[in-house]
Structure 1
């Protein structure tokens, strides 16, 4: 795993604690797994981060941080994974989850156009919210679980590869 690279990219707990505007995060420092890079905390972070990335709700990063805190996952990774759904990827992701939700619910696909107005939110979103939420939750749970087990498998394969390299190096020296 690119553990050294991730350590360089993410802030240390001390850096976060020193920032006065992030004082509300102080409870996050009571659990060490919330910041450490180990197989369990990273796998849990993938579970939470991928799930939260597909929630069609505002404040996905806050939801991911709260869930990571609750299940003892790595907070920076879970919050970072939420950015899979960014302003460029949100339209195709949520349209895809809407289509998937209509398929799951066996309901017709509605034609709609997106406008940034309160009137649109109150009328159109009211008509498409069920398939959007069902599709988003299903995809989020599926990808979260897939990420969880994928990290466990990839981490284990990396460790086994390192063990094999060490064994070969020991045999060469002797």
Structure 2
């Protein structure tokens, strides 16, 4: 069902903006679904989906090119974070980071400062990084790494479960066709 909405492999390989990738796009691991490429793609997508708030899909695609994971699944897996999940994810990330750094989780700051120059913006950004930013970034990094590891093993485990279930069903059909006795 999903394939009708996605461009074909050939159209992607022939696209003029992607010609610079050359033979890298012809790697079969980028397009086939198997246990390893799926597990790597889901882990990549979970990592970038939880780690960075912008350009998640391009980052996941680049990582899947380098690590030879399924491109589509890496891109789709980044959608673990979306406009509906940003607030809870960032809240949990901040609380996690603040807990690890031993800082009390503070409330929001009162008023946004008026920034007239780049130097003032840089000073404000540095103060933010020292206050809310450090716990948030630490929490996001920990959640991204943990999410990637969990996603990898969960995808691999679900793949194995599916294969074993199909194998058992095949054996059961064989037994039903040729009963012993």
Q: TM-score range by the shorter chain?
A: 0.7 to 0.9
Out of 58, 67, 88, the position equivalent to 1:71 is 67
Equivalent positions of 1:22-171 (< 5 A) are 22-23=18-19, 26=22, 28-112=24-108, 122=125, 125-126=128-129, 127-171=131-175
Deviation (angstroms), 1:80: 0.9
- Count the aligned residue pairs: 169
Equivalent position SS for 2:46 = helix
Deviation (angstroms), 1:78: 0.8
- Structure 2 unpaired stretches of 5+: 116-120
Structure 1 residues 7 and 169, CA, compared in 2 at 3 Å: closer, same or farther?
Answer: farther
Deviation (angstroms), 1:108: 2.0
Given that residues 51 and 144 in structure 2 are in contact (C-alpha distance below 8 angstroms), is that contact kept between their aligned partners in structure 1? yes
Structure 1 residues 39 and 93, CA, compared in 2 at 3 Å: closer, same or farther?
Answer: same
Deviation (angstroms), 1:8: 5.5
Larger Rg: 2
- Structure 1 unpaired stretches of 5+: none
Rounded to whole Å, the distance in 2 between the matches of 1:109 and 1:164 is 51
Q: CA RMSD in A?
A: 2.7
* TM-score calculated relative to the size of structure 2: 0.79
Structure 1 residues 128 and 28, CA, compared in 2 at 3 Å: closer, same or farther?
Answer: farther
* TM-score calculated relative to the size of structure 1: 0.82
Given that residues 56 and 94 in structure 1 are in contact (C-alpha distance below 8 angstroms), is that contact kept between their aligned partners in structure 2? no
Equivalence for 1:12: 8
Given that residues 48 and 60 in structure 2 are in contact (C-alpha distance below 8 angstroms), is that contact kept between their aligned partners in structure 1? yes
